[in-house]
Amino acid sequence: MVRIFICMMILLLPQFLRSQEDLSIGTAHTFYSAVLDEERTFLVALPAGYDENSDQHYPVLYLADGENYFHLLYGIQHMFSRGRMQYRTDFILVGIINTDRTRDLTPTASTTGRDGNPGFYPESVGGGADRFAAFLQTELFPEIDRQFRTNGERLIVGHSLAGLFVLHTFLNHPGLFTAYLAIDPSFWWDNGKLVEEAASRMDYEAQKTLPLYIGVAAKEIKSRTTIQGEKAAIFLNKILPDTGLLYYNTHFFPNESHGTVYIPGLLDGLKLLYGNEKDI
């Protein structure tokens, strides 16, 4: 009997092998950026039904840390589109692959570290956020619009330094995106300079109808710097409420650290921005 079973498995093995196929999640694209003077890569995943619905145009969700979270966000998008837990998932997902996060995602050059003391970096680093925003506006957006059926609606998602870039862009280039989602943004950068300048950067008429979500890790950890918590509290509890913005939402996660807050923050933010959960 055992011999018969073994013989059957040997005969059927080629059938099993022939049934296997590679799973593909999105496509990678590379082009030269004149603004940044380097080759840049971005990943793209299209929504379900994109090929079948040839007349439909879609919003684009830009992920600033594509190398870290592209597959995660793709999985969440897929999960949200199934069964009764249906949220708006008809967006084109674009993951931007970083080459120098500190250079591109920080608004000012600085030598200051997370402890608020200068000299952490031997020389000033960063400060390229406006240049990176110009790259998005003049090069990446047109490239995406050229290759895919977009409708002009854009959402930006970023964590840590990328979350700082999200806030900087909201304050200084509010028309660049139509919705902003920042997860535990690095308020500590340059001794909290973004927070210090935020009130003067607010433009109510330009920002009042832009959805803004900020999720913050609030777990008490010895290595977590005081300046991060202090600046986050000022921005979230004082500056934002005083602006009168119509569509902003903040969430503190007391049981999450900087490294773990991304998943619950992303889920919370997307549900608020795109939520349409059905009763079950």
Residue 247 structural domain: 30-274
Q: What are the φ and ψ backbone dihedral angles of 227, each rounded to 5 degrees?
A: -60, -35
Residue 9 lies inside a defined structural domain of this protein: no
Residue 12 lies inside a defined structural domain of this protein: no
Residue 71 lies inside a defined structural domain of this protein: yes
Q: Which residue has the higher pLDDT, 22 or 38?
A: 38
**What is the rounded distance in angstroms from the CA atom of residue 95 to the CA atom of residue 5?**
48
Q: Which residue has the higher pLDDT, 226 or 269?
A: 269
Residue 18 lies inside a defined structural domain of this protein: no
Residue 17 lies inside a defined structural domain of this protein: no
pLDDT number for residue 223: 55
Q: Which two tokens stand for residue 168?
A: 């900087």
| Residue that is written with structure tokens 């402890």 in the block | 115
Range 239-261 average pLDDT: 87
242 with 204: CB under 8 angstroms? Answer: no
Q: What is the DSSP letter of 90?
A: -
pLDDT number for residue 92: 95
Number of domains observed in the structure of the chain: 1
Which CATH number covers residue 217?
3.40.50.1820
236 with 250: CB under 8 angstroms? Answer: yes
pLDDT digits (tens, 9 = 90+) for 32-82: 999 999 999 999 999 888 889 889 999 999 999 999 999 999 888 777 766
Nearest by Cα to 252 from 275, 273, 228: 228
Model confidence pTM above 0.85: yes
For residue 266, list its beta bridge partners: none
Cα atoms in the Cβ-side hemisphere of radius 13 Å centred on 86? 7
**Mean per-residue pLDDT of the chain:** 86
- pLDDT at residue 5 above 60? no
Range 9-38 average pLDDT: 75
Residue 134 lies inside a defined structural domain of this protein: yes
pLDDT digits (tens, 9 = 90+) for 135-169: 999 999 999 999 999 999 999 999 999 999 999 99
Residue 46 lies inside a defined structural domain of this protein: yes
164 with 235: CB under 8 angstroms? Answer: no
pLDDT band at 85 (very low <50, low <70, confident <90, very high): low
Residue 159 lies inside a defined structural domain of this protein: yes
pLDDT number for residue 190: 95
Q: What are the φ and ψ backbone dihedral angles of 164, each rounded to 5 degrees?
A: -60, -40
pLDDT number for residue 204: 78
**What is the rounded distance in angstroms from the CA atom of residue 252 to the CA atom of residue 261?**
10
